[in-house]
Amino acid sequence: MRVIGMISGTSFDAIEAVAAELELDGPELVADLRAHVSADYPLEVHSAIAASLPPATTSVDDVCKLDTAIGQRFAEVAAEVAEAAFRGEVDVVCSHGQTVYHWVEGAHALGTLQLGQPAFIAERTGATVVGDVRARDVAAGGHGAPLASLLDVLLLGWHPESVRGSLNLGGISNVTVVGPDREPLAYDIGPANALVDAVVSEATGGRETFDDGGRRAAAGTVDDELLAAFLDEPYYELPPPKSTGKELFHLAYVRERVGTREISTGDLLATLTALSAETVAAELRRLEVVDVVAAGGGTRNPTLMGELARRLPGLPIERFDVFGIPEAAKEAFLFAVIGFLTVHGLPASVPSCTGARHASVLGAIVPGTAPLKLEAGARAPTRLAVRTPLQS
């Protein structure tokens, strides 16, 4: 089946799309990856997303306009990827869209909202479209996150003698672990790039949206007293499964913790980078992982990765590329897998990772222009094999 997976992540810096051909071979899901595209938003759409995110307020008419604009941009990208990978003939597109609000109170997720009207994708491509992917898991008592745990569990497998981890360093850091004598576990750790991005954007008047190569943080000095103030956050003490987002970790949060202290931008960025590394390292130590694969924009930040390595001596951290999936393509490929499973009526969540009462078939389906040809007798896969990898 020809499938495209799409997502705009917490940092909303681009739309990631992956085209893959997927088929079931007994308990194994086999993937031939065909293309990966990272596409920018038009400036006005990017600005509208930024203006809608917490702690900002918005209006129903602005939400409607943004839902349309994101959906239309996703549709453009889907059509381009379908043409490049499949000469325009795509069966399924699974779109995560853009999260604009994730409603969490304490240890419970109560709702989640992703924008990007999938009908525009169906109209533009003719494909069956799977959207609104997180809501079903939330309805089943889960957090709707981290959904990447599905891909992690299929790829990491079960090892009788060791605990293995998969780390994502996007706007928010999250981890999945598999190992002996335990069900898979996954949860959001805290901010990876979210707070750094917010400070850089403010300091440069929006000319820059992230600390490119970690250079600004590398030029600063960590303020240990301020770092301790940031670490004194109740979220870190909540037991998993748990989830968080920019509803908690945003620019106003930084300003509140800094208070009346005088600190340079470089020193603040160094401190926030150390915060990301310290929170991640603390969890990996607690989980007793013996090796880690990592994905997300943070893996392209040498300062952050150096801070992690310093705190975790002897722990091998490899990029997710070792699986034949470029780390930047991981989440988009995840949604290709979810779309494939959903149209076959197969669950795509791992309840021990999201906290749900049971595994669920995820998403809502917008029909395409033709019926799908589904694999007869399809059963949920227990492992994933990348037969044709993508080059990073």
pLDDT at 41: 97
pLDDT at 377: 86
pLDDT of 392 > 70? The answer is no
Please write the tens of the pLDDT for every residue from 22-32: 999 999 999 99
Please write the tens of the pLDDT for every residue from 151-181: 999 999 876 678 999 999 999 999 999 998 7
233, 278 Cβ separation under 8 angstroms: no
CATH architecture of 2-144+326-388: 2-Layer Sandwich (3.30)
pLDDT at 245: 94
Q: Which segments of the chain belong to CATH 3.30.420.40?
A: 2-144+326-388, 149-323
> Which region holds residue 201: left if phi is over 0, alpha if psi is between -120 and 50, else beta?
alpha
Q: How many beta carbons lie within 10 A of that of residue 250, not counting itself? A: 18
d(CA 46, CA 52): 10
What is the average per-residue pLDDT within 256-263?
Answer: 96
Please write the tens of the pLDDT for every residue from 300-339: 999 999 999 999 999 999 999 999 999 999 999 999 999 9
Outline where DSSP puts E strands in the chain. Answer: 2-8, 15-25, 28-39, 92-105, 108-115, 128-131, 164-169, 172-178, 185-191, 291-295, 317-319, 364-366, 383-388
pLDDT at 157: 85
What is the average per-residue pLDDT within 272-292?
Answer: 97
Question: What are φ and ψ of residue 283, in 5° steps?
Answer: -70, -40
Instruction: Read off the pLDDT band of 270 (50, 70, 90).
Output: very high
The CATH superfamily label for domain 149-323 reads ATPase, nucleotide binding domain (3.30.420.40)
Instruction: Read off the pLDDT band of 146 (50, 70, 90).
Output: very high
Asked if the peptide bond before residue 241 counts as cis, ω within 30 degrees of 0, the response is yes
Residue linked to tokens 């994101």:
70
Please write the tens of the pLDDT for every residue from 173-206: 999 999 987 899 999 999 999 999 999 999 999 8
